[in-house]
Amino acid sequence: MSAINQPLYGATADAIRDQLDRSNGDAITEQDITNLLLHLAARLTNERPTDPMREATRLSLALEYAAHRYGYGTGRAYAAEQAVLQRAPRVDRDLSRGEYALLLRKAAAGGDR
């Protein structure tokens, strides 16, 4: 495993992530974030759509999908996770996973949260 693909930990992790992001020149695009949101929505629709949606699930899935797409602990994964969390509405009321998937699709399309 190259140094770029190894997980980043510790107090300097953010600085290293920023440096890696600048050095590889591969910014996270709006299309990347839209695709991640749509993948999250599909999962919530297909897996237990009537179960309650939780804020912890939103946080967990954003991390999981960003890490899967860009590599665990990489700068791009961190940037993608943060961008997804900015666009995905917080879970602040009772919703099912399926209902939340509809909100994610709306966010992916550029709609209001």
Q: Alpha-carbon distance 71 to 83, whole Å? A: 16
Three-class secondary structure of residue 72 per DSSP: coil
Q: Alpha-carbon distance 21 to 103, whole Å? A: 30
pLDDT in tens, 13-65: 555 555 545 445 568 899 999 999 999 999 999 999 999 999 999 999 999 99
Three-class secondary structure of residue 65 per DSSP: helix
pTM score: 0.75
pLDDT of residue 7: 52
Are 40 and 88 in contact, with CB atoms under 8 Å apart?
yes
Query: Apex CA 13: angle with CA 12 and CA 17, to 5°?
Result: 120
Question: 52 has which bridge partners?
Answer: 96
pLDDT of residue 2: 44
